[in-house]
Amino acid sequence: MSLLASARQQWLANPRRDLLAGTVVALALIPEAIAFSIIAGVDPAVGLYASFVIAVTIAFTGGRPAMISAATGAMALVMVTLVRDHGLEYLFAASLLCGVIQIGVGLLKLGRYIKFVSRSVMTGFVNSLAILIFLAQMPELIGANWQTFALVGAALVIIYGFRRITRAVPSPLVAIVLISAFVIWSGVDVRTVGDMGEMPSTLPFFQIPKVPLTWETLTIIGPVAATLAFVGLLESLLTANLLDDITDTPSDKDRETRGQGIANILSPLFGGMAGCAMIGQSIINVTSGARGRLSTLWAGLFLLFLILVLQDWVARIPMAALVAVMIMVSIGTFDWKSVIHLRSTPLQSSIVMVVTTVTVVATHDLSKGVVLGVVLSAIFFMRKVGKTIVVEAVETPEDGVLRYRVTGNLFFASADVFAAAFEHHGHPDRVEIDMTGAHLWDLTGVAAVDKVVFRYRRQGAEVDLVGMNEAARTLVDLVGKHDKSHLPGAAAAH
């Protein structure tokens, strides 16, 4: 019964909102899928078929309800060289291998480790994509006639104004319908979806990539497939995190990882390229009221219906209406508070956020920005934790014993601070180091302990290590070089 209730909640909690939201997404998917196909250097049908297959598949296999996955610009950029040098069939093969790799990552349950991406990196990721979404609309505006700007402005007024009247129908859908109706009625000369490229007129059919099954083929597609898998999972899991926050609901990251893999295996088998989650379309979906898997399924199915049955009408939709929708998405996606509060947030967090944002925008490569942000976060964290090791001299009666108390985490980032904290000039007869409040994490920490012990012993002092926990004693016993007879079981170790 619990499984049935869960399925009902994920699929039929609010079907009307899911269907309306999915309709908006499908309309906005068409020009983007065509544009991404052009970026990759393939026929528009490849991106459109991919968007249909991936959206429908991920509706069932994904771990984040209401998230939209399809052909994306981030993935298309990785494909350019492969398509240019080896052709479309090698792209299909690389997309299929990408899916296999992603399933492997999912089976190893590595998707959950996205939690180690810091909030600052997440904010940088979101802000950079918001900027890229906005910049992607510029080709439609630069050099355009005044009517285009007027239509974009009118569409934005409808989008933001209609939601003040009612939220029963998504305002972006109302804007697309009204602006399209006006353009068709008035005959005003503006760019339309039909100007983007020719849409397919037949259903996608099953096909196996026509490439030789040789080691040479694997060396050609392997690096591209691995990059596609990494970029796709990174964007998908970070988008899932964002939707988790917006909807205040959890998602299954390992299931999402496997689901992306399954979708990317099926896509090339039906004439599509690899894809991943789309932050822009996902934001459109959830802000239009979608919360269930039905919205993702309907977006894929309605997309196919639009391009096969209604393509003559779809071709007449003005790009100005869709540009307005994407500008709305860009404005809504950007975390404006992160800029307003930039001076009041910790400097290191601000640096990570800004570096992530600037790197992604400058390179148009999500993976470079996020990886750099994660590395910076790790460096700042280790510097901060490395300073938490405290070595203090304990005042004792004049019995010839020099006592120290150590607290904190001893590892490679704090080893130098630990070793430098001891006084080696007094030539004591005996030194006692209390490690009760400390924890050794790695070999560098053990080496630091060895270093301190050996320094005192060279001066003729007897050194006792007191209070090591079991994990630390085991680590020292395995790799430590100082007198191991002073460790567990010996009197001096206590």
> Sorting pLDDT into bands at 50, 70 and 90, what band is 426?
low
* Mean pLDDT, the chain, whole residue set: 85
> What are the tens digits of pLDDT across the range 342-375?
888 888 888 999 999 999 889 877 778 888 988 8
Q: From CA 115, how far away is CA 130, in angstroms rounded?
A: 22
For 487, what's the count of Cα atoms within 13 Å in the CB-facing half-sphere?
Answer: 20
Q: What integer is the mean pLDDT of 388-413?
A: 78
Q: Where are the alpha helices (DSSP H) in 210-252?
A: 215-247
> What are the tens digits of pLDDT across the range 244-269?
988 888 889 999 999 999 999 999 99
Beta bridge partners of 465: 433
Q: Are strands 462-466 and 430-440 parallel, antiparallel or unpaired?
A: parallel
Q: What integer is the mean pLDDT of 291-308?
A: 93
Q: What integer is the mean pLDDT of 33-47?
A: 84
pLDDT at 396 over 80: no
> What are the tens digits of pLDDT across the range 139-182?
888 888 999 999 999 999 999 998 888 877 888 888 989 999 99
Q: From CA 441, how far away is CA 20, in angstroms rounded?
A: 53
**Percent of the chain whose predicted confidence (pLDDT) is above 90:** 30
What is the crossing angle of helices 73-86 and 215-247, to 10°?
170
User: What single letter denotes the amino acid at residue 68?
Assistant: I
**Global pTM?**
0.75
pLDDT of residue 488: 43
**Minimum mean pLDDT range among 41-55, 158-172, 257-271, 382-396:** 382-396
pLDDT, greater one: 297 or 1:
297
